[in-house]
Amino acid sequence: MDVRRILVRLSICCVLISPPNVLQSQQALRKAAPSVVDKERVKRGEVVFSRHCPICHLGRPSKASPFVGRNLRGILKNVKPEQEIAVRERIREGSDKMPGFRYTLTPAQIEDLMGYLKTYN
Burial 16-44 (b: 16+ CB within 10 A, else e): eeeeeeeeeeeeeeeeeeeeebeeebbeb
Q: Does 62 bind ligand HEC (CB under 6 A)?
A: no
Q: Does 91 bind ligand HEC (CB under 6 A)?
A: yes
Shortest separation between residue 95's beta carbon and ligand HEC, angstroms = 3
Shortest separation between residue 56's beta carbon and ligand HEC, angstroms = 3
- List residues near ligand HEC by CB under 6 A: 52-53, 55-57, 67-70, 72, 75, 87, 90-91, 95, 97-99, 101, 113
